[in-house]
Amino acid sequence: FTFTLVALERLLRGRARYHGALARGEAVIPRRLTGVRGWLAALLPVLLLIVVLAAPLLQLTIWAVRSLGEGAGAAALASAAINSLLLASVAAIVTVCAATLIAYGRRTSPSRVGAVAANLSSLGYAVPGTVVAVAVYTPLAWIDRRLAGRADAWLGLDLPLLFTGTLLGLVLAYLVRFHALALSAVTTRMERIEPALDDAARSLGADHPRVLSDIHVPLLWPGILTAGLLVFVEVMKELPVTALLRPLGGDTLAVTVWEATKDSRFDTAALPALLIVAVGLVPVIGLVRLSRAGDPAAEEPLMLGSPG
C-alpha cells in the first residue's frame, strides 16, 4: 500500500520542476478576525495547547521532581542522554551527506533507474521501524558471520562483530529509516536552483565536485540545515530501531522511557521524557526561525548572490 501511494504521487507529479515558480503577487493575504470570531480563533489554539501539551507536561514534571527527590539512576540517565545526542548528531550528518549526494546525482544524471532507486530508498520512513530494523539486521548479520568465518579460517583470528550490535549498524539503520526526510528537504531546495548556474560553471571547466561544493552547497545550506534538524529530532525520539539494534550499554533516552513505562515506573520515565521534549524543542525553534528567514528567498529563483 505504501509503495502504491509513493508510486502514484511520483506518477502524478511527472517531470514537473519548480524554479522560483511563486510570484510576488501570489502571496497569501492574512485576514483579520474581529469580535467573537477573533476571540474564538485565539481561544481554540490555547485550549488545544493546554489539553495536549500543558497538562501532560505538568504531570511529567510532578513525576520528575518526585524521581529527582529519590536520586535514583542519575548516572544511567546521563549516559542515555549522551548516547542520544551522539547518535542523533552522527545520524544527521551521515543522512544529510547521503541525501545531498543523491539529490545532486539525480540532478546531473537523471535516469529512470536512478529515479526508481531514489523513490525506493524513501520507503524507509513509510514502513514501521521494526521492519526497517529487521531488514537492516538480516544482511548485516550475514556479513558479520561471513567475515568472522573467513578471519578464523585464513588468519586464525576471532573477529568481533563489525556491524550488528555496533554504532555502525545502528547509524546505517537510521540512514535507511530517515533518508526520505533529508532527501525531501534537500531536493526541494535544489529544485529551486536555476540549471543555468550548473551550465555556466561547467562551461568554465568546473567538474561536478567543484560545482557541488562551490555553488550548490552554499545555496542549499538552508535546506541542508533543515534536513539535519529534522533527522536529529526524529533520531532523538526513535525507539524500535534503537531498541533492536543498539550496542550493549547503548541505551538512549527513548529506550530508557520505554523500559521504565513497560514496568509501570512512570516516575522514572518522566525525567528522560522531559529531556526528549526539551532537546527536541531546540531544533524545532531553529526550524521555525529558518522557515521565517527563508520566506523572501522562496519567492524567487535561487541565483548567485540571492538570499539563502
Specify the higher pLDDT residue, 30 or 63: 63
Average pLDDT over residues 233-240: 90
Specify the higher pLDDT residue, 247 or 9: 247
Predicted confidence band of residue 307 (pLDDT cuts 50, 70, 90):
very low
Alpha carbon distances (Å) from 18 to 23, 58, 195, 253, 299? 12, 45, 11, 40, 11
Q: Say what percent of the chain tops pLDDT 70.
A: 83
Q: How many CB atoms lie within 10 A of CB 64?
A: 20
Task: Provide the grid cell at 32.
Answer: 483579520
Instruction: Tell me the pLDDT tens digit for each residue of 52-105.
Output: 888 888 888 888 888 877 766 778 888 899 999 999 999 999 999 999 998 888
Instruction: Tell me the pLDDT tens digit for each residue of 113-142.
Output: 777 777 777 778 888 888 989 989 899 889
Q: Say what percent of the chain tops pLDDT 90.
A: 14
pLDDT score recorded for residue 21? 45
pLDDT score recorded for residue 175? 93
Predicted confidence band of residue 3 (pLDDT cuts 50, 70, 90):
low
The reply to whether CATH 3.30.70.890 applies to domain 74-299 is no
* CA pair distance 10, 17, nearest whole angstrom: 12
Predicted confidence band of residue 255 (pLDDT cuts 50, 70, 90):
very high
Least confident range of 13-27, 56-70, 245-259: 13-27
* CA pair distance 194, 305, nearest whole angstrom: 13
pLDDT score recorded for residue 25? 47
Average pLDDT over residues 208-225: 86
Average pLDDT over residues 134-163: 85
pLDDT tops 90 at residue 163: no
Task: Provide the grid cell at 106.
Answer: 539525480
Q: Which H or E run contains 154?
A: none
Predicted confidence band of residue 207 (pLDDT cuts 50, 70, 90):
confident
Amino acid at 38: G
Alpha carbon distances (Å) from 58 to 64, 67, 97, 284? 10, 14, 39, 21
Alpha helices, H only, the chain:
2-13, 35-49, 55-70, 74-108, 112-121, 129-150, 167-190, 195-203, 208-211, 217-237, 240-245, 253-262, 266-293
* Mean pLDDT taken over the chain: 80
Enumerate the domain spans of the chain: 30-71, 74-299
Least confident range of 5-9, 201-205, 247-251: 5-9
**Could you give the 3-state DSSP secondary structure of residue 27?**
coil
Predicted confidence band of residue 16 (pLDDT cuts 50, 70, 90):
low
Alpha carbon distances (Å) from 27 to 9, 292, 293? 26, 14, 16
pLDDT score recorded for residue 93? 95
pLDDT tops 70 at residue 45: yes
Specify the higher pLDDT residue, 5 or 143: 143
Predicted confidence band of residue 205 (pLDDT cuts 50, 70, 90):
confident
pTM of the model: 0.77
* Cα atoms in the Cβ-side hemisphere of radius 13 Å centred on 69: 7
